[in-house]
């Protein structure tokens, strides 16, 4: 009688383990397919932005100040950090957010920079979305609505800034 209970118990445990393994495998496949679809959408969007910006930015013969002002205006309008290099690879201009994020970026985040080659030889470099700011001690960023250092909810006026506590 005792071995029957053991057999039933082991059968239930084996069925649950098999269910967990198959569910995990299906979830992993679904997430991989979703990630691939997301990457395709991001590439298409970046290509469209490159085409839009190529038509709206001043040409390579325009003064550098004019090119820089137009790039910064588009970067603000699209809310995307970007930089523009000439045909020789020399930096013409970069948005403030691009410079700030590029200097704070780790070597592991290099794939976030997406170069878009324009027809006139210039290169528009766009920073792809991702984790912008690491959390304390290089960990994940804090959840929205909580402060890094004191874990208290920020006041509405302080939202988006770090607290002094």
Per-residue pLDDT of the chain (165 residues; tens, 9 = 90+): 578 999 999 999 999 999 999 999 999 999 999 999 998 998 888 888 888 888 888 988 889 999 999 999 998 998 888 999 998 989 999 998 888 887 776 665 555 788 888 888 899 988 876 644 444 545 444 444 444 444 444 444 544 444 444
Under a CB-based contact definition with an 8 Å cutoff, are residues 124 and 142 in contact? no
For the chain, the domains span: 2-127
Angle formed by the axes of helices 96-104 and 64-78, to 10°? 80
Classified as helix, coil or strand, 91 is strand
Q: Are 153 and 145 in contact (CB under 8 A)?
A: yes
Q: How many residues does the chain have?
A: 165
Structure pTM? 0.57
User: Does domain 2-127 bear CATH number 3.30.70?
Assistant: no
């Amino acid at each position: 009688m005792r071995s029957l209970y053991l057999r039933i118990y082991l059968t239930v445990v084996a069925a649950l383990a098999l269910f967990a393994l198959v569910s995990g495998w299906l979830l992993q496949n679904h997430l991989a397919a979703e990630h691939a679809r997301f990457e395709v959408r991001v590439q298409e969007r970046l290509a469209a932005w490159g085409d839009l910006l190529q038509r709206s930015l001043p040409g390579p013969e325009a003064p550098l100040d004019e090119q820089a002002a137009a790039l910064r205006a588009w970067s603000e309008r699209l809310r995307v950090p970007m930089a523009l290099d000439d045909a020789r690879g020399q930096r013409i201009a970069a948005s403030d957010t691009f410079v700030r994020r590029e200097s704070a970026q780790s070597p592991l985040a290099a794939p976030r920079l997406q170069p878009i080659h324009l027809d006139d030889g210039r290169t528009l470099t766009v920073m792809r979305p991702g984790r912008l700011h690491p959390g304390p001690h290089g960990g994940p960023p804090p959840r929205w609505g909580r402060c890094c250092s004191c874990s208290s909810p920020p006041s509405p006026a302080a939202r988006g800034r770090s607290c002094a506590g």
